[in-house]
Amino acid sequence: MAALSFRNVVKHYVSGKKITPVIHGLNAEVNAGEFIVIVGPSGCGKSTLLRMVAGLETITSGEMAIADRVVNTLEPAERDIAMVFQNYALYPHMSVFDNMAYGLKIKKMPPAEIQARVEKAAGILELGHLLQRKPRELSGGQRQRVAMGRAIVRQPKVFLFDEPLSNLDAKLRAQTRLEIQKLHRELGITSLFVTHDQVEAMTLAQRMMVMNAGKMEQFGTPEEVYARPASTFVASFIGSPPMNLLRTAPGHREGELLGIRPEHLDVTAGQGWATTVETVELLGAERLVYARLNGEALIVRIDESQPAPAVGDTLHLTPRPDRLHRFDAQTGLRLASGAA
């Protein structure tokens, strides 16, 4: 296990006279053995950051350290990391065993140790009965487990996952998330996991780094990020459906946005905010009601025990006072007066 340090890390791409900033002075400390998820929309810099840790991208300025060793100028092979990509990158002509063992053979490791490492990783990932198969004979989920097994046998200081679940269907994604959680519990290796999927971020992370346009908006546990978002970006990106951000709701102050999550609005009889229902989505155990309050869009989540309102109905809502959030309307940053 190894700690990771990012000290004012900057990344620019230069093309002629044009300079394109990608990472803007990122500072963060990752503890040894932590599972960190880097989450954000496409183009926010999360994969670039991961590739800089791997040594596949150079650092423009700042320092990056693994186990207190600055790695800025080290080659990927010198960093003692293992990376799992979204496209598996398996050798199609090799068996599962040979795919997992290939890196160890290149290092001229003794055959007996290679055998032991591969069998141990195969046992953890439930691949023991598939070791002689070729990748074409495997499902997408099995191929991803082989890719993870190839990383495990190297026994690295740091695991790097670059959107490894994006090619799987919804059911396999959920199953593989559980396998990754189990893997981390068993191995305890420091891990960075990149995704644009906030559900993956919330379910996998011990702490999550929310990225936006090359900047780290917030770094905290899923509970902290969800309960006390540091900005309107985090509030709208984390949570499905996103937090309501209102300019004209009763109780808001000039220059502020009032935030309230859909599940923290209670339906009341004739009291509270009077909204007009526009659409209702039925989602099994819950319903999402899309309404208007003083012309602003608003979403409220209600459970199946409550009657679904009809389009055009007036729905009265009361926000839970301890769940209100306040943000500066200009900067988007959280204000100290936010109650939650």
Q: What is the pLDDT of residues 95-109, one digit of tens each?
A: 999 999 998 999 899
pLDDT in tens, 298-334: 999 998 888 889 999 999 999 999 999 999 999 999 9
With beta carbons less than 8 A apart as the criterion, state whether 172 and 180 touch: no
| pTM metric for this prediction | 0.89
**CB 62, CB 23: distance < 8 Å:** no
Q: Which of 8-12, 173-177, 188-192 has the lowest mean pLDDT?
A: 173-177
pLDDT tens-place string over residues 84-94: 887 778 899 99
Enumerate residues 6+ apart whose C-beta is below 8 A from 130: 96, 122, 138, 142, 146
Residue 39 reports pLDDT greater than 80: yes
Mean pLDDT, residues 117-121 taken together: 91
Rounded to whole angstroms, the Cα distance separating 59 from 23 reads: 9
- pLDDT for 87 equals 79
Q: What whole-number percentage of the chain has pLDDT above 90?
A: 69
Identify the structural domains of the chain with CATH numbers, from first to last: 4-230 (3.40.50.300), 241-328 (2.40.50.140)
If phi > 0 it is left, if psi is from -120 to 50 it is alpha, else beta; for residue 278 that is alpha
pLDDT attached to residue 12: 94
State whether residue 58 is helix, strand or coil.
Answer: coil
β strands within 43-148, DSSP E: 61-66, 69-70, 81-84
pLDDT computed for residue 325 by the predictor: 95
pLDDT in the model for residue 148: 86
Residues whose CB is less than 8 angstroms from the CB of residue 308 and which lie 6 or more positions away in sequence, other chains included = 280, 282, 287, 289, 302
Angle, in degrees to the nearest 10, between helices 140-152 and 170-187 = 20
Residue of 252, 238, 54 lying closest to 156 (CA atoms): 54
Residue 1 has pLDDT above 80, yes or no: no
pLDDT of residue 340: 54
Exposed e or buried b per residue across 279-295, where buried means at least 16 C-beta atoms within 10 angstroms of its C-beta: ebeeeeeebbbbbebee
Window from 48-57, 176-185, 189-198 with minimum mean pLDDT: 176-185
Q: Which of 239, 236, 212, 211 is nearest to 223 (CA)?
A: 239
